[in-house]
């Protein structure tokens, strides 16, 4: 597995070694030892989540704060998404900046998003099955979010706004200036 750190310190793109033959392919999608060596820290995942969505669905940008903050290792099992992480760490040199990664069942890339980031994704294919590991359990009282079209962050979703499908909850998330502090 290849680990590439992004411009956002602590965020990594993971590319597995895929062994293909006439039967199909084989890959190791997760190995705790390899993963921890690759990102240079110990992360223990405690919860797996999966969602299914259709083209144009934008989920996010979400995070949990305080002692319930979550790191996530995300991947796409079927389809294609634009996956986005926004740095909300107040003392970070890249505070308010984002990283966008194309994840698909074709490229088999994964994206590690550490604690202190808002996270979301946009489905680009007709349907997508999205899978992620979390290093902390969900806690409703600690959840927060950042509006997908925040002018300060200025994410390039490269998708027609009129075709986006966004939950009512996600349509009223605050901008960066008013978002709950992650730490």
Active site residues: 62, 132
Helix (H, G, I), strand (E, B) or coil at 109: coil
Return the H-helix or E-strand segment holding 101: strand 98-104
Tokens matching residue 22: 């006439």
CA 147 to chain centre: 15
Alpha helices by DSSP H, 1-151: 32-39
Tokens matching residue 106: 């074709």
Tokens matching residue 79: 């389809």
Return the H-helix or E-strand segment holding 4: strand 2-5
The HSE-up count of residue 85 (CA atoms within 13 Å, CB side) is 28
Pairing of strands 58-64, 72-78: unpaired
């Amino acid at each position: 597995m290849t680990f590439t750190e992004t411009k956002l310190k602590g965020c990594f793109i993971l590319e597995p070694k895929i062994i293909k033959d006439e039967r199909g392919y084989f890959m190791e999608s997760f190995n705790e030892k390899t993963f921890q060596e690759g990102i240079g820290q110990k992360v223990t995942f405690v919860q797996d989540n999966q969602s299914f969505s259709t083209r144009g669905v934008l989920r996010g940008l979400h995070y949990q704060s305080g002692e319930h903050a979550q790191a996530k290792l995300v991947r796409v099992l079927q389809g294609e998404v634009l996956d986005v992480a926004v740095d909300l760490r107040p003392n970070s040199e890249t505070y308010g900046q984002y990283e966008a990664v194309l994840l698909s069942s074709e490229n088999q890339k994964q994206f590690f998003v550490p604690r202190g980031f808002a996270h979301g994704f946009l489905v680009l294919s007709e349907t997508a099955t999205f899978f992620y590991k979390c290093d902390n359990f969900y806690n409703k009282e600690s959840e927060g979010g950042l509006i997908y079209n925040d002018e300060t962050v200025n994410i390039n979703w490269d998708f027609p706004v009129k075709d986006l499908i966004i939950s009512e909850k996600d349509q009223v998330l605050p901008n960066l200036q008013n978002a709950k502090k992650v730490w």
